[in-house]
């Protein structure tokens, strides 16, 4: 399955709208019809876990399959469930493990929340930098650039709290 955002998902991703958790929002952000469950599995600790989250989001009306040709290849999706299938959660809860993938998802979400409305060109620049960041050092460079801009616009306290959050998400540096 190659999931695509629905209008409901696009509304969820608008600034000020936060009914889903960080993992679900990150998956919505990346659902462009070009990535498969296998691609998401790398970010969510396995294809089964990614499939579970995608299924919940499909049932709740946030995602749909890219097209009919995909439905023939993938297993059939269950009928839509009521809206209560995904309970609203606090936006900043985190129950995953430290990883670059989790950090990348957090930074993509942060980019959407902090820059898209204020400076779309800067948001696109940060998105591109995040796509290119493949290791811990690259991720830290992007995070640092984003935090510099956040400090300018939202103040040092806000930037410091986000910096702490990033530190909790990033894996510990590997000693050689």
pLDDT digits (tens, 9 = 90+) for 107-165: 988 888 888 888 889 999 999 898 888 888 888 888 999 999 999 888 889 899 899 88
User: Is residue 35 domain-resident?
Assistant: yes
Do 74 and 126 fall within a single domain?
A: no
How many domains is the chain built from? 2
Domain boundary among 85, 118, 150: 85
Cα separation, 165 vs 92, whole angstroms? 9
Do 128 and 60 fall within a single domain?
A: no
pLDDT score of 67: 63
Q: For residue 56, what are the domain limits?
A: 3-85
Percent with pLDDT over 90 in the chain = 10
Give, for 27, the enclosing helix (H) or strand (E): helix 22-30
Do 68 and 16 fall within a single domain?
A: yes
| 37, 50 contact by CB (below 8 A) | yes
């Amino acid at each position: 399955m190659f999931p695509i955002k629905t209008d409901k998902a696009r509304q969820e991703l608008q600034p000020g709208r936060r009914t889903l958790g960080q993992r679900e929002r990150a998956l919505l952000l990346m659902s462009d019809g070009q990535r498969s469950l296998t691609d998401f599995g790398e970010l969510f600790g396995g294809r089964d876990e990614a499939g579970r989250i995608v299924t919940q989001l499909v049932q709740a009306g946030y995602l749909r399959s890219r097209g009919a040709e995909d439905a023939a290849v993938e297993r059939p999706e269950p009928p839509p469930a009521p809206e209560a299938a995904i309970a609203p959660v606090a936006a900043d809860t985190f129950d995953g493990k430290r990883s670059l993938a989790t950090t990348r998802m957090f930074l993509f979400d942060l980019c959407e929340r902090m820059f898209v409305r204020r400076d779309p060109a800067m948001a696109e620049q940060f998105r591109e930098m995040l796509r290119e960041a493949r290791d811990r050092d690259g991720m830290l460079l992007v995070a640092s650039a984003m935090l510099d801009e956040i400090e300018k616009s939202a103040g040092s306290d806000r930037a410091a709290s986000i910096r702490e959050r990033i530190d909790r998400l990033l894996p510990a540096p590997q000693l050689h």
